[in-house]
Structures are given as C-alpha cells and as structure tokens.
Structure 1
Amino acid sequence: MANILANIVARSTLLSALEEKRRQQMKKFLLHRLFFVALLQENAESADVTAYHEQLFQRISKIHLGESPSGILLIYSHCLLHILEASSGTLYHILMDLAAVENQDSNALIQDVKILAMSHNIPTRLFNQWYATAVEVPVTLEDVTQTQTTEEVITECLTLNLKLGVYLATLKVGNKGLSDCLHTVVPELLMPAETIQYLCKAKECLSPEEFLKIYNNPLQPKMDSECVWPTPTHMIS
C-alpha cells in the first residue's frame, strides 16, 4: 500500500510540468537584437576594429552577468554595419561605451554611430557566435538614397541583414570565423557602403546617447485624474 501511495505522489501533473518549464524560462535572460552603423576613422584597419569590439565584450562580461553577444560585424573601408544579439543589460553597456567614446574622443576609431533598430524578446539567436569580417563592395551605379526615404532605406537594410543571417545559419562556420569573403559569395546580401554612410548622417536615426536618453527617461503619460483634480480655479473680476 505504501509503495502504491509513493508512486501516486511521485507522478507529475500537467500543472507541475508547466510550472517547471516557466521556472526554466525565467532563469534565462531575454534576448534582443541591435542593428547599428558607424563611420570609421581614416586609415582604420579591420583588425583594430575587430580588436576594439572583442575587448569591449570582454570588459563588459567582467562587470555584467548576461547573455554573451552573438552577431556579425561587417567592416567596410570607411564604415561598418553591426548586428548584435544579447541580453538587454549587455546591449545597454555596449551602447554606454559607444556613447562615452564619441563624447570624449573626437578622434575615436568609431564615429557617427547610429541605431537602426532594436528587436526585443527575439525567440532565438540568428547567429551561433560573433563574427567579424572585412567586405569589399563596389560602388553602385544607382544611389537609392536619392529616390527612397530614410525609412525605406532602413527597411531594405534590415531585410538584407536578416537574409544574410539566415544564409550564415546554413553554413558550418568554425571557431576561427568566416573562411569565405562574403562580398564574393553573396554580394547581393550586402548593403552598399554609400548607403551605410548615408545612414550614419541621417537625422532620423538616433545616436547611442540619444537612444539611452530615451531609454532612461520613459514617457509618463498624464493620467485622467490629473486633468480633473484639482479643479481649475477661475479668477473673479
């Protein structure tokens, strides 16, 4: 009889299974995906740009516990395009560093950083790890920035970036990074350098400092009660 009761107690229920699943999910950090572009200092080497970001990630990992970054850094001759996937705290520290560097050093390696988009609570990573690669995209004959709005240019840029991520997900990329040059394999999935430089100067895009200012100061809408109380007073003539 005792054995029967023990077996009954040991059986799990649907409720307990759902609660355990929720506990496992709560242990993980929510993932977010950040897209940003930037101009490079004149004569900047791709190795220096890669080393800067690697050192930034290592420094943040020592002071903040969160999901490590994954994504891809596309380094052009005079600009870059960066996709990062990480927890909100990690991305917050990265943006703080970018804002501090721009404000303190006019000759910084990375300049005119602009945020294109932030995707919140993404279900899964698009990139297995963080990659950095130099690309050489030829000058395009047609400048789309003259015929499209900034919003349309950003939409096209994000679409190509996501397609590039899907393509890289099908490859077997080792720990050493990308072995093939993307501009020779999938040039149609890379944004022209002229478009990235245009976005770095677009007023519609926020800098890291502007983005953090909005993030740290959320909107506080006026409540209905504030409109009716206290009652307005009228001056008696």
Structure 2
Amino acid sequence: MANLVTDSVPRGTLLSALEEKRRQQMKKYLLHRLFFVAMLREEVLDGEITAYHEQLFQRIQKFHLGEPASGVVLIYSRCILHILEASSGTLYHILTDLAALEKQGPKALLQDVKIVVMSHNIPTRLFTQWYTTTVDVPVTLEDVTQSQTTEEVITECLTLILKLGVYLATLKVGNKGLSECLHNVVPELLVPAETIQCLCRAKECLSPAQFLEMYSNPLQPSMDSETVWPTPAHMFK
C-alpha cells in the first residue's frame, strides 16, 4: 500500500527543472497583469467605451508586434473594471494613455481611474484572449464596503476576478466576445458595482499619473550631501 501511495505522487526531475528554466529564459518578454478601475463620464454614448478600447489596442499592436494582449473589460452602468495581461511596454502605453485622459478633466471618458494592483512576471495568462462585455447587476440595498478597509475590498475584488478568470477559461469564446450574459450565468463571480466605486474613491490606490511618476523615480535617490558645494570635508584628518 505504501508503494502505491508513493508512486501516485508526481515527482519532478532535474531534466524537467532545467527544461522549465530554459523555457523561461527563452521568453520574448515577461508577462505582467494590470488591474484598474474607473468611473464613466456622466453621459456616455452606446458603444463609446468599446470603440475606445478597440482603437487603443489597435494602436498598441502597431508598436508591439508579436506581443498580444489578453484580458477583459467589464462595463457596468457607471463604472468599469479592466484586467490586462501584456508586456511591460504595452502596459506602459496603456498607463500613458490613461494619464493623458486625466488631463481632459470632466470631458474624459474615464474618470477617477485607479490602479488596483500590478502583478509582475506572471507564469501563465488567466485569459486566453481579449474581449469586452457589458455587465448588468442590480444595486445592492446594503453597501458592505463602508464597513471594510481598502485592503479587504481589494482582496475580495481580486478573489472574485481570479474565480471569474478560471470560469472564462472553460468557455469557448469567439472573436466577437462572450455570447452569454455573465450576470445571468455566474452573478456570484461578478464584482459588485459598489466595490468598484469604492476603489475609485480609495486614496490608497494610485492614479495612472502617480503610478508612472513612481515608476520613473530612481530606486536610489541622491542625498542632500551629494548635491551641495563645496563637498563636505572631515573636520579632523
């Protein structure tokens, strides 16, 4: 019986470990995953948000050939939840475009954009392709986010997103996107609209401009003693 139990446990070999290491080194680029939320402008025309994302990704693909982006945009009545998996260069273009939208003020299509989390060097994609879908969920009578910390709200949000990604991986999705309404099939896996609105107001989450500023800052800032003149000298030799 002990032999049967031992044989049933999968064991890795040195060869498989070396092959996996080689596959990681042969990657053309590292894969990252970006989560961000945003409120929609007061008056949004039908299809305007979908057209915006299509134009954005068509422009990015011209500069990053061979680096496909995958993910999903969940469009609610007043907000959106965006999950994007791509290379660092693609994500940088996305963040730059979002930062430019912020400068448009009230005229911008997306308002109060907040970066929820950035996952670096993920081993595999959670989404097999890129698509957009509209979500129609009823407003809950009780907003549970009022009694939760921002960390708890983010944890709950990411948990639902990962479960939704696992569910979508089992579906056969065509080029036109999802053929079924997620709010009718798996309403328990959808992030409530109140949660997204709470994250858009969270001061702990950075805006695209703040995120890019932090990204551009050096890891080792210069000290005050390095910029004064004349250079400081020891009092005693």
Query: Does TM-score exceed 0.5, indicating one fold?
Result: yes
Give, in angstroms, the shift of residue 232 of structure 1.
Answer: 5.1
Give, in angstroms, the shift of residue 142 of structure 1.
Answer: 2.3
Q: Is the 2:75–2:81 contact (alpha carbons within 8 Å) kept by the matching residues of 1?
A: yes
Show the counterpart of 2:4.
none
TM-score (norm 1): 0.82
Identity of aligned residues (%): 77
Match of 2:213, as an amino acid? K
Cα distance between partner residues in 1 of 2:202 and 2:19: 47
Q: Is the 1:68–1:90 contact (alpha carbons within 8 Å) kept by the matching residues of 2?
A: no
Q: Is the 1:71–1:84 contact (alpha carbons within 8 Å) kept by the matching residues of 2?
A: yes
Question: Is 1:70–2:70 an aligned residue pair?
Answer: yes
Give, in angstroms, the shift of residue 123 of structure 1.
Answer: 0.6
For 2:26, what is the secondary structure of its paired residue?
helix
Give, in angstroms, the shift of residue 106 of structure 1.
Answer: 3.1
Question: Is 1:102–2:99 an aligned residue pair?
Answer: no
Show the counterpart of 1:117.
117
CA shift digits 1:32-60 (9 cap, x unpaired): 00000001012314521111011001111
Larger radius of gyration: 1
Q: Is the 1:34–1:84 contact (alpha carbons within 8 Å) kept by the matching residues of 2?
A: yes
Match of 1:76, as an amino acid? Y
Cα distance between partner residues in 1 of 2:165 and 2:46: 21
Match of 2:134, as an amino acid? A
Cα distance between partner residues in 1 of 2:72 and 2:62: 22
For 1:106, what is the secondary structure of its paired residue?
helix
Q: How does 1:38-53 map to 2 (within 5 A)?
A: 38-45=38-45, 47-53=47-53
Q: Is the 2:41–2:106 contact (alpha carbons within 8 Å) kept by the matching residues of 1?
A: no
Cα distance between partner residues in 2 of 1:191 and 1:24: 33
Cα distance between partner residues in 2 of 1:120 and 1:149: 24
Q: How does 1:182-201 map to 2 (within 5 A)?
A: 182-201=182-201
Unpaired runs of at least 5, structure 2: 1-13
Q: Is the 2:131–2:178 contact (alpha carbons within 8 Å) kept by the matching residues of 1?
A: yes
Give, in angstroms, the shift of residue 199 of structure 1.
Answer: 0.9
Q: 1:85 to 1:46 in 2, by over 3 A?
A: farther
Give, in angstroms, the shift of residue 146 of structure 1.
Answer: 1.2
Q: Is the 1:38–1:81 contact (alpha carbons within 8 Å) kept by the matching residues of 2?
A: yes
Q: Is the 1:31–1:121 contact (alpha carbons within 8 Å) kept by the matching residues of 2?
A: yes
Unpaired runs of at least 5, structure 1: 1-13
Q: Is the 2:37–2:80 contact (alpha carbons within 8 Å) kept by the matching residues of 1?
A: yes
CA shift digits 1:60-105 (9 cap, x unpaired): 1223346221111000001000000000100000100110121135
Give, in angstroms, the shift of residue 21 of structure 1.
Answer: 7.0
Cα distance between partner residues in 2 of 1:46 and 1:69: 24
Give, in angstroms, the shift of residue 25 of structure 1.
Answer: 3.8
Q: 1:24 to 1:123 in 2, by over 3 A?
A: closer
